Amino acid sequence: MTIEFTKMHGAGNDYIYVNTMKYDIPDPAAASIAWSRPHFGIGSDGLILIGKAERPEADFSMRIFNNDGSEAMMCGNGTRCVAKYLHDKGLTDKNPIRLETRSGIKVLNLHLDQEGKVEAVTVDMGAPILEDSTQFDPNSDVTQEIVNGKWSNGKSSSSLFVSMGNPHFVIFTDEDVETLPIEEYGPKLEHHPAFPQRCNIEFVQVRDDGTLRMRVWERGSGITLACGTGACATAVAAILTHHVAQRSDIRIQMDGGTLSISWDEATRHVMMTGPATIVFEGEIELP
């Protein structure tokens, strides 16, 4: 069976998008593994399925599969691309769009260019969770080595666990994140016993001009160019650890681009704004 797909990215975080209202993907985990392979497949961070919403208060749904086949709870960059896909392909004229995810319904506000196409999206990411015993074990005997100042090979840091519907461990370090061996530290921390469901790991350097430079090791995908939920977690952690003074328009600079994050003090909701881009479209057979 031949499937039509769209390759899209949000700040370099690239996924394969398939409309399951048109095509049935019986084994999305296998499809994500096969299609995400560079050289042998399309090449991506994973697969995102767009479908009908099960809950009446939502307009559409999304499911996210990492390139190792595991299913993710949420993808901030992916939600923006879903909004562009739905609007630009004429599947809806709603603005905002209410999107059902495994971590709840997200409200997507579309910003259109002069031609009426989506160029950026603001996503209401909801309120962060700072204590989540299902994803972070603060009482573990081994937790202290990463929480209280040491995270890998004796590196000093300040750090904070933040859940944005999926788990993030944000590490502020004086190391140069451009040359930090993320490929060495990321897997160790992702599989650390403190994180029963594994974890996304953000390495953050606060630069002299106050900007936040972040690199990410994503659970199930490895190093990626950007992570929307990770950018949100980083902004929240930066506020709570006093690395930034403001709560609005916090710019998180990642390998693939910059996202703007705001944390509303009244509602406690985190708002994420960033681009969404179509790379190419094509057809591929089910694995």
User: How confident is the model at residue 175, as a pLDDT?
Assistant: 85
Asked if 234 and 227 count as a contact pair (C-beta separation under 8 A), the reply is no
**Buried/exposed 88-125: b ≥16 CB within 10 Å, e otherwise:** beebeeeebbbbbbebebbbbebeeeeeeebebbbbbb
Q: Is the overall model pTM greater than 0.85, yes or no? A: yes
**Domain segments of the chain as ranges:** 2-124+274-281, 144-271
Strands (E), 193-276: 200-206, 212-218, 222-224, 250-254, 257-263, 270-275
Domains 2-124+274-281 and 144-271 share a fold: yes
Q: CA dist 195 to 4, 225, 284, Å?
A: 37, 23, 36
In the chain, the amino acid numbered 238 is A
Q: Provide the 3-class DSSP secondary structure of residue 235.
A: helix
Low pLDDT (below 50) residues in the chain: none
For the stretch 125-180, pLDDT in tens is: 999 998 777 787 766 655 666 655 566 666 656 888 999 999 999 999 888 999 99
The residues annotated as belonging to the active site are 75, 227
Size of the chain in residues: 287
Is domain 2-124+274-281 annotated with CATH 3.40.50.12280?
A: no
pLDDT at res. 148 = 57
Considering the domain 144-271, what is its CATH architecture? Roll (3.10)
Task: Spell out the alpha helix ranges (H) of 170-220.
Answer: 182-190
| Model pLDDT, residue 139 | 64
